[in-house]
Amino acid sequence: MTELKNKVALVTGGSKGIGFGIAKKLLANGIHVAITSRSLESAREAADELKKYAIHDSKILALEADVRSYGEQEAAVNRALKELGAIDIVIANAGLGHFGSIEEMTVEQWNEVIDTNLSGAFFTLKSTVDSLKKSKGYYISISSLAGTNFFAGGTAYNASKFGVTGFTQAAMLDLRQYGIKVSTIMPGSVSTHFNGNEPSEKGDWKIQSEDIGDLVIDLLKMHPRTLPSKIEVRPTTPPNK
């Protein structure tokens, strides 16, 4: 997918954080972008901000969808197809985290993390796979280094991201026969509002959301014969502990 102008991308959780940074870079490369959020107001506010990065008349569409609901995700996909005509690129980015020991983790917190991060990735691909077959498109999930490195207090988050990594790699083997490329990106520390963090200059050592956007563009521009199926990315120089 070396020619990106006028391609169409769907980014879940695109109203902030990594999803917003990816949407920004997609628009800056002439790609039409649909972003989803659980809040239509948040999606619209983000879309208004993202317009400034669009080139070549690339369009931005704000959609309301909770990735925990297959019906809502399917409705958002149908709306994107109606408004933008196709789906060539899917970024399964929506995610959240609850952290604490197994003794502290509530059933409700566990379900929210698994349903959002893991089932959400499945629902996103399941609802777009027919479109990706038609376009010979690209599905990219945003996992985490927590999808290969476990840590205390990470029962739900580790489980979800280990799952996303495994799910995406298995889907890659399922779908490459159709000319669909599938990759997962596994970032380390990213400067976003995730888990109550407040981005500031103190976090300049962290990966920036736009950096993940640049990585997505690099993947999309790679020769069709070559597939980096799993990419780990981490800050170059983290602070000394």
**DSSP category for residue 240:** P
What is the number of alpha carbons within 13 Å of residue 101 lying toward its C-beta?
2
Domains of the chain: 8-233 (3.40.50.720)
Cα 2 to the center of its chain, rounded Å: 20
User: Does residue 53 have an active-site annotation?
Assistant: no
Per-residue pLDDT of the chain (241 residues; tens, 9 = 90+): 678 999 999 999 999 999 999 999 999 999 999 999 999 999 999 999 999 999 888 999 999 999 999 999 999 999 999 999 999 999 999 999 999 999 999 999 999 999 999 999 999 999 999 999 999 999 999 999 989 999 999 999 999 999 999 999 999 999 999 999 999 999 987 876 565 566 566 668 788 999 999 999 999 999 999 999 999 999 998 887 6
User: Exactly one of 53, 138, 139, 157 is catalytic; which is it?
Assistant: 157
Q: Cα–Cα distances in Å, from 43 out to 7, 39, 128, 240?
A: 20, 6, 20, 37
The reply to whether the predicted model has a pTM over 0.85 is yes
Q: Which of 114, 121, 109, 93 is nearest to 17 (CA)?
A: 93
Task: Return the structure tokens found at 220.
Answer: 């999309």
